[in-house]
């Protein structure tokens, strides 16, 4: 007790030593309370009162000098309250989002509206309505994840399912693009993943022709890759379009002279397209005698890889900030 009363700290360090000695977890006060269990029961109350008094005294003495601590702390850590705060680090947009937004804005300027739909689809919207009846061999083109507890449900393999929904809505003409995530049961490698992103487009009206398709896509390519980019169409097959084509662009990396990206052909495939099959229009309640339309679909990953010369698709989904930081800021 006397020691406590005689205590006259001059610095924060003195005060801290006092705290450790008396009030710390290994201090005198704690230790004395520890003795409690050796005191006979009938004297416990009395002993407790003395102890509490002692503890109170020790604490009061401490608070009495607490101002030392505050001043001491400020002085010892050089905090300059006038300094501006550390800047907040802004994240960056994911490269897939950057490219998706670019694609969307080009088509928006052409009058296309954005349409979205569910990632868990039914068989009708993903396949059957698109002229891919059950057991049609073309279903093998897209390895599908089915939902085991519900035979009719699956993870959409393309956003063409959204186009079906738009056609079924009955409002014509239709001019939409459908960005979104799609799923395919593929072995994960540098060039394939079990999910990826697409932008598909659909234009249905009277007198829509293949020339409209070509012109629209040519405009798109020049906007996205630059004015000098050339395109070429190769005949292809999709059950939901007739005729169908795949579109290549002149290689952006070597300009056509030959490199690994275009496998020395000078051309890189970027999308599939075609005139909507009359059967598909019919399935969706649109009169194929009156209306025609074109559709196209592209993978965003592929275009992003071309744009930024990214060689491994897996980088997009690994969340490695060293990769992600290299792209445009969030604002
Ligand atoms: N749905 C096709 C795919 O995912 C792409 C496509 C869309 C092709 C529209 C032609 C017309 O592979």
Mapping DSSP onto H, E and C, the string for 224-269 reads HHCCCCCEEEEEEEECCEEEEEEEEEECCCCCCCCCCCCCCCCEEE
CA–chain centroid gap for 295, Å, is: 27
Q: What percent of the chain has pLDDT over 90?
A: 60
What's the CA gap between 171 and 108, in Å, rounded? 19
Q: What is the ipTM of this complex?
A: 0.98
Query: Mean pLDDT score of the chain, rounded to an integer?
Result: 90
Give, for ligand 1, the residue of 112, 162, 200 to mutate: max count of ligand atoms closer than 8 Å to Cβ. 200
What's the CA gap between 314 and 191, in Å, rounded? 8
Among 73-82, 218-227, 273-282, 320-329, where is mean pLDDT lowest? 73-82
Atom number, ligand 1, closest to the C-alpha of residue 198: 4
Give, for ligand 1, the residue of 272, 275, 294, 295 to mutate: max count of ligand atoms closer than 8 Å to Cβ. 272
Residues having CB within 6 Å of any atom of ligand 1: 158, 160, 200, 238, 241, 272-274, 295-297
Q: Which residue has the higher pLDDT, 107 or 133?
A: 107
Average pLDDT of the segment spanning 163-185: 96
- Identify the residue whose C-alpha is closest to ligand 1 atom 10: 273
Give, for ligand 1, the residue of 163, 246, 293, 297 to mutate: max count of ligand atoms closer than 8 Å to Cβ. 297
Task: Specify whether the CB–CB gap between 276 and 293 falls below 8 A.
Answer: yes
Q: How far is the CA of 208 from the centre of ligand 1 (A)?
A: 18
Report whether pLDDT(145) > 70. yes
pLDDT category of residue 261 using cuts at 50, 70 and 90: confident
Average pLDDT of the segment spanning 203-215: 98
Kindly report, residue by residue over 186-199, the tens digit of the pLDDT. Answer: 999 999 999 999 99
Nearest Cα residue to 221 out of 107, 93, 302, 327: 107
Q: Which residue has the higher pLDDT, 67 or 271?
A: 271
Q: b/e for 240-250, b at 16 or more Cβ within 10 A?
A: bbeebbbbbbb
Q: What number of CA atoms fall less than 13 Å from residue 229's CA on the CB side?
A: 23
Give the model's pLDDT for residue 253.
82
pLDDT category of residue 76 using cuts at 50, 70 and 90: low
Nearest Cα residue to 291 out of 282, 299, 300: 282
Q: How far is the CA of 113 from the centre of ligand 1 (A)?
A: 18
Q: Which residue has the higher pLDDT, 166 or 76?
A: 166
What's the CA gap between 207 and 292, in Å, rounded? 6
- Give this prediction's pTM: 0.74
Provide the angle, in degrees to the nearest 10, between the axes of the packed helices 95-109 and 210-225: 130
Report whether pLDDT(75) > 60. no
Atom number, ligand 1, closest to the C-alpha of residue 201: 9
Report whether pLDDT(221) > 70. yes
Give the model's pLDDT for residue 329.
66
According to DSSP, the β-strands at 174-183 and 113-114 are: parallel
Nearest Cα residue to 241 out of 295, 196, 191, 292: 295
Give the model's pLDDT for residue 64.
81
Report whether pLDDT(141) > 80. no
pLDDT category of residue 106 using cuts at 50, 70 and 90: very high
Per-residue tokens: 301:
């990953």
């Amino acid at each position: 007790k006397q020691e406590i009363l005689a205590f006259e700290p001059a610095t924060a360090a003195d005060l801290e030593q006092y705290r450790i000695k008396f009030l710390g977890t290994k201090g005198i006060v704690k230790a004395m309370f520890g003795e409690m269990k050796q005191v006979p029961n009938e004297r416990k109350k009395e002993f407790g009162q003395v102890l509490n008094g002692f503890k109170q005294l020790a604490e009061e003495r401490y608070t009495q000098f607490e101002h030392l601590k505050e001043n001491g702390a400020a002085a010892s850590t050089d905090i300059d309250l006038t300094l501006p705060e550390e800047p907040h680090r802004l994240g960056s947009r994911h490269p897939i989002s950057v490219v998706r937004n670019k694609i969307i804005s080009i088509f928006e300027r052409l009058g296309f509206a954005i349409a979205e739909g569910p990632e868990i689809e039914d068989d009708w919207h993903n396949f059957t309505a698109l002229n891919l009846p059950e057991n049609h061999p073309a279903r093998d083109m897209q390895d599908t994840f089915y939902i085991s507890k519900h035979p009719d449900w699956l993870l959409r393999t393309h956003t063409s399912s959204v186009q079906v929904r738009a056609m079924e809505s009955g409002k014509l003409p239709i001019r939409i693009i459908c960005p979104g995530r799609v799923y395919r049961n593929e072995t994960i490698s540098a060039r394939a993943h079990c999910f990826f992103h697409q932008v598909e487009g659909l234009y249905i009206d009277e007198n829509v022709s293949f020339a409209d398709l070509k012109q629209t896509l040519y405009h798109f390519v020049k906007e996205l890759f630059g004015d000098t980019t050339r395109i070429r169409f190769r005949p292809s097959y999709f059950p939901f379009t007739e005729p169908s084509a795949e579109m290549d662009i002149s290689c952006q990396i070597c300009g056509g002279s030959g490199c690994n990206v275009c496998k020395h052909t000078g051309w890189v495939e970027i999308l599939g397209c075609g005139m909507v099959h009359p059967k598909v229009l019919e399935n969706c309640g649109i009169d194929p005698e009156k209306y025609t339309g074109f559709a196209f679909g592209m993978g965003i990953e592929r275009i992003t890889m071309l744009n930024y010369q990214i060689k491994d698709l897996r980088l997009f989904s690994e969340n490695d900030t060293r990769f992600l930081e290299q792209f445009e800021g969030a604002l």
